[in-house]
Amino acid sequence: MGLRCRRGRGLLCVAVIVVTTAVAALASGAQAQGSRAGTATTPATVPSASSAGSALGRLDERLSALETELRTTTGRVEQLSFRLDQLSNRLETVLSDLEVRLRAADSESPAPGAAAPAGGAASAAAAGAGRTTEPRSQDTSAATTPPASGASPRPADEAPPAPAGALPDAPPEQQYAYAFDLLRQTNYAAAETAFKSFLERHPDDELANNASYWLGETYYVRKDYVKAAETFLDAYQQHKSGPKAPDALLKLAMSLGQLGKKAEACTTLGELNRAFPQASERVKSKAREEGSRLECR
């Protein structure tokens, strides 16, 4: 300290030294604490400009992908809407024609569903019913849960087709049985191909009405209700006196209901009841159930 303690002041000198040492220690501790505090409050490192630019680039790519996806979805919706409009126009024409025929039939003969088909159509329908390999009940919902077993046996000499759904080189009855067998195996894509091929080869066969109906089922069970409605409508238009005509109208109404076309579906159910008053109880029951679901009046 550079101080010289004289004899009379020894205790005072000791006290000064102790106080000075304590002050120095306190000052040193405060300085150390301040250093630690400064370190703790140092702000976080700011991201570099390069990393921020990379993140913006990724965001821009994602936005571009979303825009492309949105354009694609919009195009599909517009295409679906166009097809629905076409289907509605076709259905309106068919229902109007059916109503005219029903009014004319009321004053001349029983409704189309009650009268036997004219000319050779009756024998053709009977022959077709005898040739079909469909389940005994012919339930329109059977194709939604077809059994894997119990399928119609294939001829022993039938060669396996190369592409899926290609019809064998056989008579129409066996070709139809082959297509229906694919449907019962839940091989819907192959069944679609087979039924299409059958209709192309045998458009006037007694089994054409059944084939066109089950072709519609291959779409319905896969929830392609637009194609299902179009196919069921074709099945009815081309075979209005066929054994599957009531079923085709029923499934047309159900397809329209799935598409949100409630008014058209209810109108179709109404025409089904009027055109085919003697339809099977199964068809009538399903029609009532669908009408209740759609709240038809």
> pLDDT tens for residues 14-59?
444 544 554 455 455 545 554 554 454 445 555 566 777 788 888 8
Describe the crossing of helices 208-220 and 245-258 by its angle, rounded to 10 degrees.
Answer: 20
Query: Taking residues 267-287, what's their average pLDDT?
Result: 94
Instruction: Output the domain CATH number for residue 193.
Output: 1.25.40.10
204 is in which domain, residue-wise?
Answer: 123-133+164-297
Percent of the chain surpassing pLDDT 70: 60
Whether residue 21 is contained in a domain is answered as: no
Whether residue 94 is contained in a domain is answered as: no
pLDDT number for residue 7: 47
Whether residue 187 is contained in a domain is answered as: yes
With CA atoms as reference, report the closest residue to 166 among 209, 142, 202, 196.
Answer: 196
Whether residue 196 has pLDDT greater than 90: yes
Whether residue 274 is contained in a domain is answered as: yes
Whether residue 128 is contained in a domain is answered as: yes
Whether residue 28 is contained in a domain is answered as: no
**SS3 readout for the chain:** CCCCCCHHHHHHHHHHHHHHHHHHHHHHHHHHHHHHHHHHCCCCCCCCHHHHHHHHHHHHHHHHHHHHHHHHHHHHHHHHHHHHHHHHHHHHHHHHHHHHHHHHHHCCCCCCCCCCCCCCHHHHHHHHHHHCCCCCCCCCCHHHCCCCCCCCCCCCCCCCCCCCCCCCCCCHHHHHHHHHHHHHCCCHHHHHHHHHHHHHHCCCCCCHHHHHHHHHHHHHCCCCHHHHHHHHHHHHHHCCCCCCHHHHHHHHHHHHHHCCCHHHHHHHHHHHHHHCCCCCHHHHHHHHHHHHHHCCC
> Rounded distance, CA 253 to CA 268, Å?
6
**Mean of pLDDT over the chain:** 73
Whether residue 160 has pLDDT greater than 90: no
Whether residue 226 is contained in a domain is answered as: yes
Query: Taking residues 230-259, what's their average pLDDT?
Result: 94
Q: Is 56 left (phi over 0), alpha (psi -120 to 50) or beta?
A: alpha
Residue carrying structure tokens 């056989």: 170
Q: Looking at the 3D structure of the chain, how many domains does it have?
A: 1
Whether residue 140 is contained in a domain is answered as: no
pLDDT number for residue 130: 36
- Lowest mean pLDDT segment, chosen from 61-65, 100-104, 284-288: 100-104
> Rounded distance, CA 199 to CA 218, Å?
14
pLDDT number for residue 96: 66
